[in-house]
Amino acid sequence: MQKRFNDTGVCIPNRHYMVDLSVKLNQIIQLVEQGEYFTINRPRQFGKTTTLFMLDKALNRREDYVALKISFEGIDSKTHQHVDQFVRLFLEMFIREFEFLNQSELAQFTTQYLEKTNTLPLLSQFITKLKQDKLPQTSLVLLIDEVDKSSNNQLFLDFLSLLRNKYLNQNEGRDHTFHSVILAGVHDIKTLKAKIHQEAQSQGENVGYNSPWNIAIDFKVDLSFSAPEIETMLQDYSEEKQISLDIPAIAKRLYYYTSGYPYLVSKLCKFIDEDILPNLARKNGTVEEVDAAFKMIVAEGYTTTLFDSLIKNLENNPELYNNVFNLVINGHHIPFNITVPVINLGHLYGIFKESVQGCRIHNRIYEQRIYSYMVTKLLTQSSEPLLSSQPAGYYNDEGLDIVVILRRFQVFMKEHYSDRETKFLEREGRLLFLAFLKPILNGRGFEFKEPVVADERRMDIVITYQDKRYVIELKRWYGEKYHQRGLKQLSDYLDIYSLKQGYLLIYDFNKGKSYKEEQILFQDKEIFALWV
């Protein structure tokens, strides 16, 4: 069977191209060997299930371990309401695992307890008997996937309390239980406990706030893929397909767009393998294919459940939406402080990551998808026309006529927004220009917020149209001193692309402002500046 890049479900080494996970697995196995309990809490489609699968296989290959991997994904709400059904299902999953591992004696032993175990204390007794009588010299490890399915249920927290008490008693020599327990889900247990605590308080109930999982250590293994790790997957692909690849450069560019988000890395590779390379005359792969795959994945007509979840999380959390809006659209600086609930939530969902500048959107694909969504949302909701009825004037023989575009945007702002309150314009002004620009490109070009690789500063807009690039910097007017600083910054950006012409759109929110334009010669650059 020929391998493929996988973007659905668990990755299987003999069926899918995969990065070499041996270093990550060894780090996790060390935690298991130390008898640690922990939660692998990472965003959706971040490789949690694949990690558990690989960990389960690695442990069960050893004679001194028995690992039981179960999932709470199939547990319905009714089962969560009845402890006897919950306990029975738990034992049934154990039986299936023992049978799969060809541990028939252990399966039969568990079956004997199936009908008479209907409470959590009885379940605790079964676990003790299983470890003490059947596996006295073997380390028993429990892996539970999809714990988020139980996130709003008190019974699940009671089950965790059971595991916690047994863990503490085992350390004191008063019980026998699992050597290590690993949970996997998006949320950590502290978040689950806080959620249930808040819900109970809203209903007038009085519940404790102590986490039943405070025995767990912090899970610090990085599940994202580094560029060298991506290289191992590309090497496997290159050898099997007999395709020449510039592996280091391609891996670096894949990381550049994805920040190592496992699903996004695999998805870009899948586009390259199945949609891009087959249509090329040459039989080699370059970074150009990665750029083409990036444009495919951020195209508005393309969606996945991951992107649907991204937008849903933003729309369901207004405070998070506002922070992301200010970060992506208005370029605000937001400190990365995980103790702030909205920052923690954004990090939990894989939207925020830490950088030396503070909060950053986790990867450039997410940033472009969010940026495009917010612009399109304004276009669909705006009662004002955002585009002139003379589209032909925006183009010339050389490509886009940015001067005409900026002048017509100035007219648009003067006609429709000159009397709007300053607070609205400060928040929405930059978004209005992005929305104004979008229909002009209309599939012919591509605009994005481009980071400067050397120092991770952020240009506002880089438009790629045909074979040309145009750099437009959006600034707020703070006076001549800051204006000169903005010109210097734009000049530096233009040097990166070896361009001599740039554009500066200046928002002036002062009363009595002048709608003006200037052609500025700064250093060796020609800069067209326009005020709105």
**What is the pLDDT, as a whole number, of residue 263?**
98
d(CA 398, CA 300): 27
- Report the range of poorest mean pLDDT among 136-140, 143-147, 210-214, 366-370: 210-214
First to last CA, the chain: 61
Name the CA dihedral angle for 218, 221, 225, 228, rounded to a multiple of 10 degrees.
150
Q: How confident is residue 501, by pLDDT bands cut at 50, 70 and 90?
A: very high
The stretch 129-147 carries a mean pLDDT of: 96
pLDDT, position 192: 55
Q: Which range is least confidently modeled, 6-20, 157-171, 336-350, 477-491?
A: 477-491
pLDDT at 133: 96
**pLDDT tens digits for 59-76?**
999 999 999 999 988 777
**What's the pLDDT at 458?**
54
pLDDT > 70 in the chain, percent: 90
CA distance 304 to 365: 13
**pLDDT tens-digit series, residues 114-129:** 999 999 999 999 999 9
Between 433 and 121, the more confident residue is 121
State yes or no: pLDDT of 208 exceeds 60. no
DSSP structure string for 331-352: -------TTSHHHHHHHHTTSE
DSSP string, 429-443: HHHHHHHHHHHHHTT
- Among 265, 342, 360, smallest CA distance to 306 is for 265
Q: Which phi-psi region, left, alpha or beta, contains residue 350 (left: φ > 0; alpha: ψ -120 to 50)?
A: left
Cα radius of gyration (the chain):
28
Q: How confident is the model at residue 454 (pLDDT cuts 50, 70, 90)?
A: very low
Rounded to the nearest integer, the mean pLDDT of the chain is 88
Asked if the model's pLDDT at residue 424 lies above 80, the reply is: no
pLDDT of 453: 40
Q: What pLDDT is attached to residue 42?
A: 94
Listed as own residue / partner, the contacts of 409-418 with beta carbons closer than 8 Å and 24 or more positions apart are 409/433, 409/436, 409/505, 409/532, 410/515, 410/517, 410/530, 410/531, 410/532, 412/386, 412/388, 412/436, 413/515, 413/532, 414/515, 414/532, 416/384, 416/385, 417/384
C-alpha angle with apex 323: 446 to 267, nearest 5 degrees? 45
Contact in structure between 227 and 251 (CB atoms under 8 Å): yes
Stretch 209-234: mean pLDDT, rounded?
90
Looking at residue 456, its pLDDT comes to 44
Q: Assess whether pLDDT exceeds 60 at residue 351.
A: yes
Specify the pLDDT at position 387.
Answer: 57
Q: What is the number of other CB atoms lying within 10 angstroms of the CB of residue 529?
A: 22
pLDDT at residue number 386: 61
pLDDT at residue 459 in the model: 54
Distance CA 44, CA 28 (A): 20
CB 267 within 8 A of CB 16: no
CA dihedral 512, 514, 520, 522 (to 10 degrees): 20
On whether the CB atoms of residues 181 and 141 are closer than 8 A, the answer is yes
Q: Which helix (H) or strand (E) segment is 471 a member of?
A: strand 468-476
Residues 6+ apart with CB under 8 A from 280: 289
Residue-wise pLDDT for 341-350, tens only, equals 999 999 999 9
CA 409 to chain centre: 34
Give 248's contacts (C-beta < 8 A, 6+ positions apart): 227, 231
> How far is 505 from 532, CA to CA, in rounded Å?
8
Confidence of residue 445 (pLDDT cuts 50, 70, 90): low
Phi-psi region of 105 (alpha: psi -120 to 50; beta: other; left: phi over 0): alpha
Which region, left, alpha or beta, applies to residue 47 given φ > 0 means left and ψ of -120 to 50 means alpha? left
- Between 150-164, 201-215, 323-337, 484-498, the lowest mean confidence (pLDDT) is in 201-215
pLDDT band at 391 (very low <50, low <70, confident <90, very high): low
Please tell me whether residue 194 adopts helix, strand or coil conformation. helix
pLDDT value of residue 190: 59
Its pTM stands at 0.88
Phi, psi of 143 (to 5 degrees): -120, 125
pLDDT for position 385:
63
How far is residue 525's CA from residue 284's CA, in Å, rounded to a whole number?
Answer: 38
Is the pLDDT at 161 greater than 60, yes or no?
A: yes
Q: How many CA atoms lie within 13 A of 59 on its CB side?
A: 29
pLDDT of residue 194: 46
| Residue among 198, 106, 86, 179 nearest 138 (CA) | 179
Q: What is the mean pLDDT of residues 393-419?
A: 86
**Dihedral class, residue 377 (left if φ above 0, else alpha if ψ from -120 to 50, else beta):** alpha
Rounded-to-integer distance, Cα 413 and Cα 428, Å: 12
292-343 pLDDT tens trace: 999 899 988 899 999 999 999 999 999 999 999 988 888 788 999 999 999 9
Tell me phi and psi for residue 244, to 5 degrees.
-80, 125
pLDDT cut 90: percent of the chain above it: 63
Higher pLDDT, 44 or 460: 44
Rounded to an integer, what distance in angstroms lies between the CA atom of residue 425 and that of residue 411? Answer: 15
Ordered structural domains, the chain, with CATH:
22-202 (3.40.50), 227-297 (1.10.8), 384-532 (no CATH)
